[in-house]
């Protein structure tokens, strides 16, 4: 398994100039190759391959206008052509949008070095064209006998420098856990567990909103491109970076605990992109970072040998009773507690949803079936499963077993 370890480093002035020059050359080569490929497709209907752009790069270096490309390492330039090839492959497979030109004003820039472009010895990392090793802050050690295959150097909008080292590692197995957990994400409570526990949403952006608004007003008053404008821009970028780092740190702690303590983790397949179109909830949803939470759960479950089950987004987890399986007719978003008309049980909306998500996920894991909302019959107006269970006396079934019976509403 490949894992990337990201560290912060502090370059010298010479390294700063050389790496900045490398970033500019990478952007220039990427844009030139994209222009050539776009022109060939629009005029001739022909696709330009990576090999052709690589040959063009050799010719560009011989011209007077682009001779500066020879001053930097050729490895990041070749890598950016490979990235462009991957971007076009994703576009033609309808997995991504058409590649766009890189902007000089882009806040985050990066350059990728393969094994021929760096040297790692004795805990020191040397990049091509740089005589001194990078001053890396080793916040955590690399795996023993690790042989880095790729090194990516980047600089964010706040001016911080990072290096990401890709290494081959084995699957780190946590001790087997016998428990399973269902997760219901929200805004007030970031995650509600099927055990009834609620993890509060820290609201990192809302805490810094006043300072961020004041910094953005100061930036708007500065003359664009001036030294004071750059200082104000850097201050805004630092605030955004502070918010993002705190949010990521909290998500790492939550997801690591959930994956460590449970063998099966069940979540919903939410369409966050569509949900943020609601202008009243967009900021709160973005601050909660549900997509980032799911991404962390996915790769950590792969790392540690856990199972992640994703149920269908249309499964009515909130308005279905986790005790008897009855469904509420109308459950508005502001209703946080409701009483089931079938069994009289009072439910916390989020806890009930988490329990239903867990039951649905266990059924999917056992049967390999999808989870879809039950269709109503035109004859009775009730779901087919409710018709089959209409004669069941739920009061005669022990409470711990009601949830098990309720799983029958998910056809396998």
Give 121-139 pLDDT, tens digit per residue: 888 999 999 999 999 999 9
Determine the 3-state secondary structure of 338 from DSSP: strand
Instruction: Flag whether pLDDT at 35 surpasses 90.
Output: yes
24 and 108 within one domain: yes
Q: Which of 350, 376, 388, 396 is catalytic?
A: 350
Cβ–Cβ < 8 Å for 298, 308 = yes
pLDDT for 385? 38
Query: CA 154 to CA 259: how far, in whole Å?
Result: 30
- Tokens read off for 250: 């909290």
Name the residue among 127, 149, 92 with its Cα closest to residue 15: 127
163 and 25 within one domain: yes
Cβ–Cβ < 8 Å for 311, 324 = no
276 and 187 within one domain: yes
Query: CA 204 to CA 245: how far, in whole Å?
Result: 10
Q: Which of 112, 184, 205, 287 is catalytic?
A: 184
Number of neighbours of residue 51 by Cβ within 10 angstroms: 10
238 and 145 within one domain: no
Range of the domain at 106: 2-168
185 and 143 within one domain: no
- Tokens read off for 147: 């042989």
Query: CA 394 to CA 262: how far, in whole Å?
Result: 30
Does the active-site annotation cover 268?
yes
Determine the 3-state secondary structure of 230 from DSSP: helix
pLDDT for 318? 81
- Tokens read off for 64: 């007077």
Chain mean pLDDT for the chain: 85
Please report, rounded to a whole number, the percentage of residues in the chain having pLDDT higher than 70. 88
pLDDT for 370? 53
pLDDT band at residue 107 under the 50/70/90 scheme: low
Q: Which of 18, 112, 205, 268 is catalytic?
A: 268
Out of 114, 138, 168, a domain closes at 168
Instruction: Flag whether pLDDT at 75 surpasses 60.
Output: yes
Q: Which residues of 361-376 are buried (b: 16+ CB within 10 A; e: fewer)?
A: bbbbeeeeeebeebee
Instruction: Flag whether pLDDT at 392 surpasses 70.
Output: no
Does the active-site annotation cover 184?
yes
pLDDT for 369? 54
- Tell whether 274 is covered by a domain: yes
- Tell whether 89 is covered by a domain: yes
Tell me the H-state helices in 304-391.
349-367, 384-388
* 107 compared with 181, residue with greater pLDDT: 181
* 99 compared with 324, residue with greater pLDDT: 99
Q: 147-151, 155-159, 292-296, 337-341 — which is least confidently predicted?
A: 337-341
150 and 20 within one domain: yes
Query: CA 322 to CA 341: how far, in whole Å?
Result: 13
pLDDT for 376? 44
Does the active-site annotation cover 350?
yes
pLDDT for 68? 94
Strands 337-339 and 346-348: antiparallel
Strands 264-268 and 180-185: parallel
What letter would DSSP give residue 393?
A: -
Number of domains in the chain: 3
Residues 6+ apart with CB under 8 A from 309: 264, 265, 266, 267, 361, 362, 364, 365
Instruction: Flag whether pLDDT at 161 surpasses 90.
Output: yes
Number of neighbours of residue 244 by Cβ within 10 angstroms: 16
84 and 40 within one domain: yes
Instruction: Flag whether pLDDT at 411 surpasses 90.
Output: no
Query: CA 85 to CA 77: how far, in whole Å?
Result: 13
Strands 264-268 and 307-311: parallel
Instruction: Flag whether pLDDT at 348 surpasses 60.
Output: yes
Residue 300 backbone dihedrals phi, psi, to 5 degrees: -75, -35
Strands 118-121 and 161-168: unpaired
223 and 76 within one domain: no
114 and 43 within one domain: yes
pLDDT band at residue 346 under the 50/70/90 scheme: confident
pLDDT band at residue 329 under the 50/70/90 scheme: confident
pLDDT band at residue 389 under the 50/70/90 scheme: very low
- Tell whether 314 is covered by a domain: no
* 140 compared with 338, residue with greater pLDDT: 140
- Tell whether 322 is covered by a domain: no
pLDDT band at residue 407 under the 50/70/90 scheme: very low
Out of 168, 193, 213, a domain closes at 168
Instruction: Flag whether pLDDT at 400 surpasses 70.
Output: no
């Amino acid at each position: 398994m490949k894992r990337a370890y990201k560290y912060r480093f502090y370059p010298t002035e010479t390294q700063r100039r050389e790496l900045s020059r490398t970033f500019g050359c990478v952007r220039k080569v990427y844009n030139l190759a994209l222009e050539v490929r776009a022109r060939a497709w629009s005029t001739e209907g022909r696709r330009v391959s990576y090999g052709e752009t690589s040959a063009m790069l050799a010719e560009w270096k011989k011209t007077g206008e682009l001779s500066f490309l020879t001053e930097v390492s050729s490895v990041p330039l070749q890598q950016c052509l490979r990235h462009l090839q991957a971007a076009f492959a994703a576009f033609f497979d309808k997995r991504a949008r058409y590649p766009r030109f890189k902007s000089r004003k882009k806040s985050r820039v990066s350059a990728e070095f393969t094994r021929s472009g760096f040297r790692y010895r004795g805990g020191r990392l040397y990049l091509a064209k740089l005589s001194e090793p990078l001053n890396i802050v080793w916040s955590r050690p690399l795996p023993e006998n690790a042989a880095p295959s790729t090194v990516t150097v980047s600089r964010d909008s706040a001016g911080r420098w990072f290096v990401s080292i890709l290494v081959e590692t084995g699957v780190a197995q946590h001790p087997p856990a016998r428990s399973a957990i269902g997760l219901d994400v929200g805004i007030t409570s970031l995650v509600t567990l099927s055990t009834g526990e609620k993890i509060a949403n820290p609201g990192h952006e809302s805490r810094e909103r006043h300072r961020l608004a004041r910094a953005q007003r100061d930036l708007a008053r500065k003359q664009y491109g001036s030294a004071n404008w750059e200082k104000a821009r850097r201050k805004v970028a630092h605030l955004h970076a502070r918010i993002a780092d705190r949010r990521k740190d909290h998500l790492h702690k939550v997801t690591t605990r959930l994956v460590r303590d449970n063998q099966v983790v069940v979540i919903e397949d939410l369409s966050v992109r569509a949900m943020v179109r609601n202008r009243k909830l967009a900021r709160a949803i973005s601050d909660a970072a549900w997509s980032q939470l799911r991404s962390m759960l996915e790769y950590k479950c792969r790392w540690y040998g856990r199972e992640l089950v994703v149920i269908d987004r249309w499964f009515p987890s909130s308005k279905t009773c986790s005790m008897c399986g009855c469904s509420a007719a109308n459950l508005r978003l502001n209703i946080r507690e409701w009483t089931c008309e079938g069994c009289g049980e009072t439910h916390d909306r989020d806890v009930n949803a988490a329990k239903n998500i867990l039951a649905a996920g266990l059924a999917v894991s056992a049967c390999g079936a999808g989870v879809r909302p039950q269709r109503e019959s035109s004859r009775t107006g009730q779901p087919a499963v409710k018709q089959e269970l209409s004669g069941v006396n739920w009061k005669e079934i022990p409470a711990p077993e009601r949830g098990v019976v309720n799983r029958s509403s998910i056809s396998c």
